[in-house]
Each structure stands twice: as structure tokens, then as C-alpha cells.
Amino acid sequence: MQDPAGHDTRYATALQNFTRSSILAFECNWSEASLERELADHPECSLFCCIIWLTLLQLPRKTVPHFQLPSSVVGAGVTVSAETTAQWGGFVCLIVFAYLEKRWAWYNLERLQLEILVSSGRAVPPAAVAELAQLVYTTLNQVAPQWPSE
């Protein structure tokens, strides 16, 4: 996702490709620990994948019947660490609820910033919060689309 123009790719396309790859890794039973071992030089990439995985874990099964979790993942809770879930679970939950229940296409960035500050104890700039929210919305749009694609 970083410097997509250097690879002659639009940011939106790079983001969709990244989320597809993260969903595939999730379906192949990758965990946060195994991802961190493979991507030791890129911790932000591991965080982005974990946010996507938290999004997938928060989807109600009845809402998205075509998206099937591996049987070893359902109820196992080992895909994402408890620490990462505590830091980012609320952030993801707010967006998933807004998307699925309220049909919102976006969420108030100040509210999301406040959620991150409360759960992780650190302030995140609005641009970074917007990028993380876009990551969650892109994932949701791929596995539970609400609007027609172009």
C-alpha cells in the first residue's frame, strides 16, 4: 500500500489487492504471530492485516453466509492476539456496526480517534485514522458489499 504510484498502481487498487491478500492469509489460517515472523521488517503491515482479520472476525455469520471461516478459526480466537484485539477491536467494531446495521459509508473520524486514544493510550493523527478506517471499509465492501460495483 505504500507508494503505489511507484508501482504504477492507484491507491484504491493497491488497497483492494492488499485486503484480498490479507483475507486469503486469514482463510489459510495464518496468525498474527506467524505474520510477524514473516514480516519482521514491516510491523505496520502486520497491524494492517490484523485490523482486516478483526473485521472478518466481527462479521455476523448470518449476514455474510458466502464468507466461510476455516473451522479451526471459528471459536479458536488465536488468529489475532488479545493485546491487538484490545487495542483495535473497539475501533473495528464501531465501523462494522455502522456499516452493517446503520448502512453508513463513513464514520466520524473524531469519534474513531477517541476510541483509539482510549483503547491504546496514544493519539493518532486524523489522516492515519482515515487510512485505517478505509482499510476496514474496503474489507467490508469486499466480503459484504452493499453498493453496486462499477
CA–CA gap between residue 141 and residue 135 (Å, rounded): 10
For residue 75, what pLDDT is reported? Answer: 43
Q: Angle at which helices 11-27 and 126-143 pack, to 10 degrees?
A: 60
Q: Please count the structural domains in the chain.
A: 1
Q: Give ∠ CA 109-112-117 in degrees, rounded to 5.
A: 125
CA–CA gap between residue 56 and residue 26 (Å, rounded): 9
Residue 149 lies in a domain: no
Count of residues for the chain?
Answer: 150
DSSP per-residue codes, 22-37:
HHHHHHTT--HHHHHH
Cell of 9: 498502481
The maximal CA–CA distance of the chain, rounded, in angstroms, is: 41
Task: Give per-10-residue mean pLDDT for the chain (150 aa).
Answer: 59 90 88 85 87 92 61 58 93 95 90 94 93 94 79
Residue 114 lies in a domain: yes
Residue 16 lies in a domain: yes
For residue 4, what pLDDT is reported? Answer: 52
Q: Residues 133, 112: contact at Cβ < 8 Å?
A: yes
Residue 56 lies in a domain: yes
CA–CA gap between residue 78 and residue 97 (Å, rounded): 23
Please give the residue range of the domain that contains residue 71.
4-143
For residue 63, what pLDDT is reported? Answer: 63
For residue 77, what pLDDT is reported? Answer: 47
Indicate the pTM of the whole model. Answer: 0.83
Residue 148 lies in a domain: no
Cα end-to-end distance, the chain, whole Å = 22
CB atoms within 10 A of CB 136: 26
